[in-house]
Structure 1
Amino acid sequence: MSDALSADAVHLGLDLGTQSARAVAVDGTGRLLAAASRTVTGHRDGPRHEQDPEQWWSALAGACREALTGIDPARVRGLAVDATSGTILLADAGGRPLTPGLMYDDGRARAYTDRVNATGSRVWRELGYRTMQPSWALPKLLWLLDNTDFPDARLLHQADLITWRLAGRQVASDASHALKTGYHLTDERWPDAELAALGVPSGLLPRVARPGTVIGTVCGEAAATTGIPTGTPIVAGMTDGCAAQIGAGALTAGAWNSVLGTTLVFKGASPHLVRDPGGVVYCHRGPGGTWLPGGASSSGAGVLTRRFPGADLDTLTARAAATGSTAVAYPLVGAGGERFPFHAPGATPFVLGDVSGDAEAFHACLLGVACVERLCFDYLDHIGAPVTGPLTLTGGGARNRYWSQLRADVLGRPAGLPEHAESATGMAVLAATASGATLEEAAAGMVRVREELTPDPSRTARLTPVYLDFVDELTRRGWLDRSVAAHARGKAEQ
């Protein structure tokens, strides 16, 4: 019998985020043994956002060395890596970067999306997301091919650079990171004809494996650099949003994890591929036969940083809670419009209701995020995604207790707050599968919920008309389809 879920086993989760690289060591019962992080930096210039790939490796190696200090190497059973979705680079045959890393939100490839979507339309429809956005990996790959001259280059997703360095050779990419490069998730292959028509050389692309597959082992050189024992199994990982979903244990059909960070990201579990006529929801293929539908909003907690720079958010939250205000601010973070739960490039912030002073303005932002979140669920239900399973709230915004309760009240459904839900923890749970546990078994044994929030029915009843007014305003402005608004109203009246 495997000891994967015992206190003796140690599983490593490695996470490459936008601002840091993080490593955690978690035992088989879910106890966090150690965690360490290192800062990574990038460069922004208009729509461009780049990072130095060598910094990813050095930062993650340093975090691993610190996290493993004092842990018996014989206890380490496996590791998995997550990274940002759609971040890519070109590398040479030895795995050395030839270009900067084009980050997940780099928008330089806008001029390529029409060609990508016309050429791949059949495949993109089959996979349910219908169209690619400029920040997706495939349009950015075409930009790289047109603006560099590296005839023998290899495409690497962000996590691929790390697994190559860990194994000492190129290993398979995972299907989760490959999704935004056009990987055919149902046929489990690259769509060769479409990619060839776009001018993508077949030798450029990596082999691909399902998440949870053991793709290699840690080599001696990497062991000396990272402190990870030689021979440790490397498990194919997932993108950061999917990793956070695993860390929250949201893996049963209809379960959802709502990650409130700079923006709001939804990740759920479905027994079937969810196809979205609006093209704002797309599915990852989970380990086994499951599908993981999700979407990423352009709204979220980043609005607080932008509108209240330097504020004491705990104090402001207490003042906001005392106002009783029901004004709603549409909490867009940037200037690029909205991408989920509807696609509206021209969307701009607005406020419904009277706002007086910082406390009420702050509360309007908190309530606005909760309203967007409820609309996400209504949209998902509208397109046939299962939504009635358990809900977990994670991300930096979930640390605000009042805000989390407000979100549960607006949604009118219970919500769990996991103890250690983060992308790195999710990768530690996935790494446990290298020792023989299924992902569901690993999540059940390792994910701990620290608090369950119960909605206040009277507050839900008071806030539902506020939510419907918000939906009506989005519809009036022409951003939200009337059929979606009608579905939201019908759900509210049930």
Structure 2
Amino acid sequence: MKYVIGVDLGTSAVKTVLVDPQGKVAFEHSEAYPLSRPKPNWSEQNPEDWVQGTLTSLRRLIEISGIEPSQVDGLSFSGQMHGLVLVDAQGQVLRPAILWNDTRTTAQCRKIEQTLGTKLIEIARNRALEGFTLPKILWVQENEPEIFAQAELFLLPKDYVRYRLTGEYGMDYSDAAGTLLLDVGAKVWSPEIAGAFGLPLSICPKLVESFDQTGTLLPEIAGQSGLLVSTKVFAGGADNACGALGAGILGEGRTMCSIGTSGVVLSYESNKELNLEGKVHFFNHGEKDAYYIMGVTLAAGHSLTWFKETFAAEKNFDELLQGIGAIPAGSGGLLFTPYISGERTPHPDANIRGSFIGMDSGHTLDHFTRSVLEGITFSLRESIEIVRDSGKEITEIVAIGGGAKNETWLQMQADIFGASIVRLASEQGPAMGAAMLAAYGSGWFASLGECAEAFIHSADVYRPDPEQVELYNGLFSLYQEVYGQTRELNDKLAAYRK
């Protein structure tokens, strides 16, 4: 039996999965690593922790599976997006990596907007947000010039790990699209953007396709991982691109909704000329010459976690959600907005904060819990409506992540989105997408679409109830008013946050 390995380099842990030619996950293993917040709004990690975590996870995967290393055809990566790793001419890391959820770069974002104007959207197809890589590069350039002077190359997290495993530099298009330095349509680094900030194009790594082979394992790495030197290593992709692959989002109109800590609505796109003026993200897909539209709710699952830990810490999630089916749609006139960490789509606003509106003495914990789920889902619908406004018909959505684990929530998504919701038989998210890239790169399939047909199967379909759809359409209109009604209040309250 042959296998491939998918490596998902997340923010809190690295996950490895061993996958057979039928798409079955034979074994999996995770290794956690720490996150550092040395100052307010900062979020950093030591890239060496990623490397050691990956090697340990690979070794344990081989050990617990009991397979021969020769049975592994190849491995590929999914990685947390946007994180900045600067290396010198010898490949040594110059400072801790600045992560996607680091928000110190507001001033640099405004500088990018002022310098490039409309050119930013025309070339990079995305707005300047604190999470992206270019603002982080400019922050180091301005605040740590002695470090920046030593920088030979910038890499993203998975690309640094892959470099350490193979000795080869490279970055795939799906991850490069999240840097703000890529001409997304032309698939080249933008000399206009780089030149506007005095950055040499030589600081950008070679661009490759997600399924391209980018080397084999270095001898010392093979020894530490339990794999062979001949094991093929493929470029991999951004976590959201790999999540899309793992959900079978390979074709026009295919859409997924992923609810984890954050929430993502992602839809396949083939038109490279599409310009949505930065209302949603527009990135290169893991499939060649394909793209995806993506909207983000910053605090999706995080809103539910916050609510449970604050108001029902003694309950587990199953217990917390047990009674929501008995609460009617609309939660008895209680409306929640999930802006507890600011918001991304369609309101890129760091100051906005969440709210419960319509509370009365008759509301119970179950009302509040259902209201939280409805608010998260309303926020995600705002991204779906932007995609629909671009001309796409969305009648079916694949649900993955925590939002796919509760049947009442799945039906709620169908009713709020006005689309059938598909739950997968086996969901491994970005790790499966990484494994698919390795399988396709290794020649197991003629296309990623053929790979998806073999690997991905649906388990259940939740169809919208027309009466509930009509009710939720009215509530959604009210939800959309809350941001405008509370924005000024939240701007004023920002002065009181300590």
Distance 1:130 1:88, change over 3 A: closer
- For 1:333 and 1:71, locate their aligned partners in 2 and report how far apart those are by CA, in whole Å: 46
With 453-462 and 303-312 compared, the bigger mean Cα shift is at 453-462
Asked if the contact 2:213/2:235 (under 8 Å) is kept, the reply is yes
Aligned-partner SS, 1:163: helix
Q: Which residue of structure 2 lines up, in the alignment, with residue 368 of structure 1?
A: 375
Q: CA deviation at 1:453?
A: 2.0
- For 1:407 and 1:333, locate their aligned partners in 2 and report how far apart those are by CA, in whole Å: 21
**Superposition pairs of residues 10-409 of structure 1, within 5 angstroms:** 10-44=3-37, 45-69=39-63, 70-121=66-117, 123-127=119-123, 129-146=125-142, 147-150=144-147, 151-153=149-151, 154-167=153-166, 169-181=167-179, 182-273=181-272, 274-309=274-309, 310=313, 311-324=315-328, 325-326=331-332, 327-334=334-341, 337-354=342-359, 356-384=363-391, 386-388=392-394, 390-409=396-415
Asked if the contact 2:395/2:419 (under 8 Å) is kept, the reply is no
With 134-143 and 184-193 compared, the bigger mean Cα shift is at 184-193
Asked if the contact 1:282/1:295 (under 8 Å) is kept, the reply is no
- For 2:270 and 2:280, locate their aligned partners in 1 and report how far apart those are by CA, in whole Å: 19
Q: Is 2:417 the counterpart of 1:411?
A: yes
Q: CA deviation at 1:470?
A: 1.5
Asked if the contact 2:296/2:383 (under 8 Å) is kept, the reply is no
- For 1:323 and 1:287, locate their aligned partners in 2 and report how far apart those are by CA, in whole Å: 42
Q: Percent identity?
A: 24
TM-score (normalised: structure 2)? 0.89
Q: Is 2:455 the counterpart of 1:446?
A: yes
TM-score (normalised: structure 1)? 0.89
**Can you give the 5+ residue segments of structure 1 that lack an aligned partner in the other structure?**
1-7, 480-494
Q: CA deviation at 1:477?
A: 5.0
Structure 1 residue identity aligned to 2:415: D
Deviations, residues 291-341 of structure 1 (Å, cap 9, x unaligned): 11112222311112222202322112112222222422112231xx32113
Aligned-partner SS, 1:393: strand
Structure 2 residue identity aligned to 1:233: K
- For 1:387 and 1:71, locate their aligned partners in 2 and report how far apart those are by CA, in whole Å: 45
Asked if the contact 1:29/1:445 (under 8 Å) is kept, the reply is yes
| Aligned residue pair count | 468
Deviations, residues 246-287 of structure 1 (Å, cap 9, x unaligned): 111111111111110111112220111331224433222442
Distance 1:345 1:387, change over 3 A: farther
Question: For the aligned residues, what is the CA RMSD?
Answer: 2.0
Asked if the contact 1:121/1:131 (under 8 Å) is kept, the reply is no
Asked if the contact 1:87/1:101 (under 8 Å) is kept, the reply is yes
Q: CA deviation at 1:125?
A: 2.2
Aligned-partner SS, 2:146: coil
**Can you give the 5+ residue segments of structure 2 that lack an aligned partner in the other structure?**
489-498
- For 1:464 and 1:193, locate their aligned partners in 2 and report how far apart those are by CA, in whole Å: 44
Asked if the contact 1:328/1:351 (under 8 Å) is kept, the reply is yes
Deviations, residues 109-157 of structure 1 (Å, cap 9, x unaligned): 2211122233344542224635211221001011122314243422111
- For 2:117 and 2:216, locate their aligned partners in 1 and report how far apart those are by CA, in whole Å: 38
- For 2:225 and 2:115, locate their aligned partners in 1 and report how far apart those are by CA, in whole Å: 43
Aligned-partner SS, 1:424: helix
Q: CA deviation at 1:446?
A: 0.9
- For 1:283 and 1:449, locate their aligned partners in 2 and report how far apart those are by CA, in whole Å: 26
- For 1:145 and 1:478, locate their aligned partners in 2 and report how far apart those are by CA, in whole Å: 33
Structure 1 residue identity aligned to 2:44: E
Deviations, residues 364-409 of structure 1 (Å, cap 9, x unaligned): 001111212222211221234x342631111123222221221112
Asked if the contact 1:251/1:268 (under 8 Å) is kept, the reply is no
Asked if the contact 2:84/2:154 (under 8 Å) is kept, the reply is yes
With 30-39 and 463-472 compared, the bigger mean Cα shift is at 463-472
- For 1:373 and 1:194, locate their aligned partners in 2 and report how far apart those are by CA, in whole Å: 31
Asked if the contact 2:340/2:353 (under 8 Å) is kept, the reply is no
Distance 1:359 1:16, change over 3 A: same
Q: CA deviation at 1:239?
A: 1.1
